[in-house]
Every structure is written in C-alpha cells, then in structure tokens.
Amino acid sequence: MKISSSKILSVALSLALLGTIALAEGPRMAGPAHEDGFFGEHSLEFFADVLNLSDAQQAQIKQIMHSSKSTLEPLFQQEMQNRKAMMQLAMSGTFDEAKAQALAQQASQAHVQLEVEHARTISQAYQVLTADQKTKLAQFMAKRELRMQEHMQEHMQQKPDSE
C-alpha cells in the first residue's frame, strides 16, 4: 500500500505537535490515549527538543491548543460515551441492530468533527514553526513512517499460531 506524502506529513505534524498539545492540555484531556500518558510531559519535551521550539513558539502553540480545548473536550467525551453505549448494547444479551446503527452513526459524526477540529488546530500550530523546523519535522516523520512500515511488514509476514 502506497501512502501519499501529504498524508505522511499530516501524520508527522500530528505526532510532532502532540507533545506541544500536552503542554497546553496537561493530563486532563479525555480519552484512553490521554489516560495512559501518551500525551505526557515526556512527549512534549521530546518534540520540543527535536524541533527546538522557542519559548515564544511554545507559548503561541499553547494558546492555540487552549483555544481549541472548548471544542475538542466535548467531542472526546461524546466519543467515549458512544463507545460505552455500544459496549453496553453488545453485552446486553439482546442485540438491537437499529440501535447499534444509530450509535455507530453518532460515533461517526463525532469522530468526523473531532478530526476536523484536530486538523484545524494542528494547521494553526504548524504555522508557528519555522521553515527549518518544518523540514526537521518532515524528516523525523519520514523516518518514523519507514519504521512503522517495516514493523507492519514483519507483522504481516509472521505465521499465525496453529489452531
């Protein structure tokens, strides 16, 4: 499967700015990835070091993330509520397909809104980076993408356990 360079750059930017998001949001962001520390202080320090963000850049990005918080938090919470409701339905003993469809539709709409707002926020934060930082980010993400592809190839080549 071939991945477009714009998609790689988008993923790269997202990952690079996650650490900066952590600076603005801290550990209070909703969602399982946030609860397990994926967006913790270590990530922030790592990406701030990789990109050599100035204090002014960190402050600008922190403000951008703070501004998006009021939009992102309810969407994260809605996603979590939808997941919980779907699991409750699945484990209820009586599966209701119409209800599952409705829950899936709600989850889909919330996810789309979340992705759009997330992309908007990352785009704004990306504009704070210098040309050199954007180049560093692209190089970092290209290397990361290569490692991910190698890992996926190794995983796909492994034989499943015999039954």
Q: What is the pLDDT of residues 113-144, one digit of tens each?
A: 999 998 898 898 889 999 999 999 899 989 99
The pLDDT assigned to 12 comes to 47
Q: How far is CA 120 from the centre of its chain?
A: 13
For the entire predicted model, the pTM comes to: 0.63
The pLDDT assigned to 106 comes to 92
Q: Could you tell me if residue 55 is inside a domain?
A: yes
Number of domains in the chain: 1
Q: Could you tell me if residue 154 is inside a domain?
A: no
The pLDDT assigned to 59 comes to 83
What is the Cβ-side half-sphere exposure of residue 19, based on CA atoms within 13 angstroms? 20
Residue bearing the bigger pLDDT, 61 or 111: 111
Tokens of 128: 């704070």
Instruction: Let me know the angle formed at the C-alpha of 11 by 30 and 9, rounded to the nearest 5 degrees.
Output: 150
Q: How far is CA 118 from the centre of its chain?
A: 8
Q: Which of 26, 53, 60, 28 is nearest to 40 (CA)?
A: 26
The answer, yes or no, to whether residue 45 has pLDDT greater than 70, is no
Give the position of tokens 């397990």.
Answer: 36
* Residue 99 domain boundaries: 5-146
Q: Could you tell me if residue 161 is inside a domain?
A: no
Average pLDDT over residues 17-30: 41
Q: Which of 119, 100, 107 is nearest to 78 (CA)?
A: 107
The answer, yes or no, to whether residue 36 has pLDDT greater than 60, is no
Helix (H) or strand (E) holding 75: helix 55-90
Instruction: Compute the mean pLDDT over every residue in the chain, rounded to the nearest whole number.
Output: 76
